[in-house]
Amino acid sequence: MQKIFHLIILFLLVTLISACDMQMNPEQQEIKVPIGPQMLQLESDIMTPEVLWSFGRIGEMDLSPDKTRLVYSLTYYSIEQNKGNTELYLLHIGTGETIQLTHTSGGEYNPRWRPDGKKIGFLSAKSGNMQLWEMNIDGSGRVQISFVKDGITGFEYAPDQSKILFTSEVKLKPTTQDIYPDLPLTTGRINSDLMYRHWDQWVDTYSHVFVADYTGSSISNPIDLMPDEAWETPLRPFGGMEQIRWAPDSKSVVYCSRKKEGKAYSFSTNADIYQYNLDDKTTTNLTEGMMGYDLAPVFSPDGNFMAWESMERDGYEADKIRLMVKEMKNGNITDYTTDFDQNVHGLQWSDDGSKIYFTSNHHALDQLYSLTIESGNIRKITDGVHSYTGLIPAGDQLLATRMSMSSPIEIFQVDEVSGKQTQLTFTNKATLDQLTMGKVEERWIETSDGKQMLTWVIYPPHFDPNKKYPALLYCQGGPQSTVSQFWSYRWNFQMMAANDYIIVAPNRRGLPGFGQEWNEQISGDYGGLNMRDYLSAIDELSQEPFIDEERLGAVGASYGGFSVFWLAGNHDGRFKAFIAHDGMFNLEAQYLETEEMWFVNWDLGGPYWEKDNPVVQWSYANSPHRFVQNWDTPIMVVHSELDYRIVASQGMQAFNAAVLRDIPAEYLYFPDENHWVLKPQNGILWQRRFFNWLDQWLL
């Protein structure tokens, strides 16, 4: 009876809301039943896929001009609705009080404080496409202030509040329907050059930056800073508003762009930083002659200096990321990281312009650092087993986002002098308090050539040293991306450990955080030392009395998927099960299928038809498809149709080869995912089939 009563009340409420729709203001009409926190009462203290997808995910954050409040985005996912929703929250730094500012089903993004601190700007798709809105700092008074035809993808206020810059997609090339208007229903695409698609999208439009006048309640007279040019800012596929900045005097805008088209674009990583002067409408290349990626510019508070992240070599996407500073008056450029054998990320100036703060990875831990400009001294601020992902200076404190293998991202306050770290948000505390996490252990293992390699070992919850457990060798992607203290919503080590597996995760050759020499070794040596590193790690760990060396598996994605395919033909009976996600299987096909030619040219040495190039010959001789005759172990293959970096046919080839050789195999295919699996129900299916496969062969 109680259930029926609740259903009747719900029906009456829905009827009342529908009847009143025409009398509600637009803000009220948008409030439906937004996806939000799920107050779960868990039946067990062991992680499940459903629990993993219930966690809130903190995103962008922006500090108020008076440095007392932080606005940030927080996303929750609904498995039933198979989608996520992002809301904005306000954190009072002094008290720790958190207030939810928005309560809609449409999502809010890109939060920014207006320079006077009286309003918060954000993007919302309530009106169809993404537009710029503003609200009071308590979340009331939502007003749409832009009506850009093709929508807005990002924005920033000018420091003097007179203008707003925004990015929008611009159509510059005719479609097939434009060329043949009598064929309006044709789906054909006409291409005559490379880079016709990138990562997971066809290149039909280009992101341009616009500057518009701002009255305090609306924008007008937008100017395209790159009119009629088939260039983009920010750069595909992952660039954001960190690549576009106002100068402190509001008289110019700097932006990052790779001003190349077609084949030239697909072979080059030479992205430069350009400055557009609003008065005379001229554009100046500030990094001309610097040949690699030049990204993420930030001005000193007085505008006299510009710092940015810079790679040296064109075509090498994993080059060392240096901290460069340019004196704007005389053009002098200083590299402050010549003796700092680490990458830098997320540069931020101190309020007085005397320091630059950043994150950097060392030995698989991302910590906060500071550079003192006058002395050139670099100091590590934080310690601990975790990884910081971003920061904002707030006087003598830093506000930063931090994660680990045992916790999703939360916001922390860090004292610059002492390094003391204080957690400010507790987004997932209620769920985490109900879970038992496995122990994460740091091990240093000797490689086949006598070097020391850091390897993370993650133990099952309630680990019993008297039991024998199956173990999984985790193969990292990239190939030059660190096995740091990361929290993943797919390759989650605690999720794997919760299924009673011990995880062995080596920082093999080719990963950053251990010096540039270690990072660079992998290029031109696929199938070489890094594969021996994997075998060194699993061979040593499998000797532990609590690991059953007869129940070993190997799993990985991207380059990790390549690694699994390669190990499948070269493991000498070590493994009893494999899982390869989005892996390269046939390197000759990969060279002609991928869209970012700079990657295969650098890492494989060039095209396979260069018979006199020893690096090329080594690379393609180590293509996994050349070792299929040795395959003898059950293998699961996962791939997605929208992955244009490593196309789906790579996975199909591997799966078909296994079946043709009568090897137990499974092919999990997603027609609507890219290089990742981002939809909730697809993600849960991925987890279920992942462990179904491993349990079948290892338990």
> In terms of residue numbers, what domain contains 655?
436-698
Residue 631 has φ and ψ, to the nearest 5°, of -65, 135
The β-bridge partners of 73 are 88
Summarised one tens digit per residue, pLDDT across range 174-216 is 999 999 999 999 999 999 999 999 999 999 999 999 999 999 9
Residue 242 pLDDT grade (very low, low, confident, very high; cuts 50, 70, 90)? very high
pLDDT at 215: 94
How many angstroms separate the CA atoms of 7 and 80, rounded? 19
| Average pLDDT for 296-316 | 98
Q: Which of 70, 58, 59 is nearest to 394 (CA)?
A: 70
Would 33 be classed as within a structural domain? Answer: no
3-state secondary structure of 375: coil
E runs forming strands in 500-540 = 502-506
How many angstroms separate the CA atoms of 680 and 678, rounded? 6
Would 483 be classed as within a structural domain? Answer: yes
Would 591 be classed as within a structural domain? Answer: yes
Q: Are 469 and 502 in contact (CB under 8 A)?
A: yes
This prediction's pTM: 0.93
Would 690 be classed as within a structural domain? Answer: yes
Summarised one tens digit per residue, pLDDT across range 423-469 is 999 999 999 999 999 999 999 999 999 999 999 999 999 999 999 99
pLDDT at 33: 52
Residue 332 pLDDT exceeds 90: yes
pLDDT at 127: 64
Residue 15 pLDDT exceeds 90: no
Amino acid in the structure at residue 260: K
Q: In degrees, to the nearest 5, what angle opens at C-alpha 276 toward C-alphas 271 and 277?
A: 160
Burial 522-555 (b: 16+ CB within 10 A, else e): bbbbbbbbbbebbbbbbebbbeeebbbbebbbbb
Q: What is the mean pLDDT of the chain?
A: 94
Q: Which of 567, 570, 580, 569 is nearest to 694 (CA)?
A: 580
Residue 31 pLDDT exceeds 80: no
Q: What DSSP character marks residue 173?
A: S
| Average pLDDT for 630-635 | 98
Would 320 be classed as within a structural domain? Answer: no
How many angstroms separate the CA atoms of 66 and 136, rounded? 16
Strands 421-423 and 407-415: antiparallel
Give the Cβ contact number of residue 498 at 10 Å: 26
pLDDT at 128: 77
Q: Copy the structure tokens of residue 672.
A: 């609507």
Q: Copy the structure tokens of residue 10.
A: 């719900």
Residue 327 has φ and ψ, to the nearest 5°, of -80, 120
Overall number of domains in the chain: 1
Amino acid in the structure at residue 586: N
Cβ neighbours of residue 436 closer than 8 Å, sequence gap 6 or more: 45, 46, 461, 462
Which whole-number Å values give the CA distances from 93 to 64, 88, 347, 394, in the listed order? 10, 16, 22, 10
Q: Which of 181, 267, 265 is nearest to 229 (CA)?
A: 265
How many angstroms separate the CA atoms of 263 and 528, rounded? 30
Burial 143-159 (b: 16+ CB within 10 A, else e): eebbebeebbbbbbbbb
| Residues with a known catalytic role | 558, 643, 675
Would 636 be classed as within a structural domain? Answer: yes
Q: Residue 453 maps to which CATH number? A: 3.40.50.1820
Residue 603 pLDDT exceeds 70: yes
Ramachandran sector of residue 558 (left: φ over 0; alpha: ψ -120 to 50; beta: rest):
left
Q: Regarding predicted confidence, which is higher, 556 or 1?
A: 556
Q: In degrees, to the nearest 5, what angle opens at C-alpha 175 toward C-alphas 172 and 178?
A: 105
Q: Which of 257, 231, 226 is nearest to 244 (CA)?
A: 257
Please report which helix (H) or strand (E) contains residue 591, including its range. Answer: helix 587-593
Give the Cβ contact number of residue 604 at 10 Å: 25
| Average pLDDT for 106-115 | 96
Residue 38 pLDDT grade (very low, low, confident, very high; cuts 50, 70, 90)? confident
Residue 8 has φ and ψ, to the nearest 5°, of -65, -45
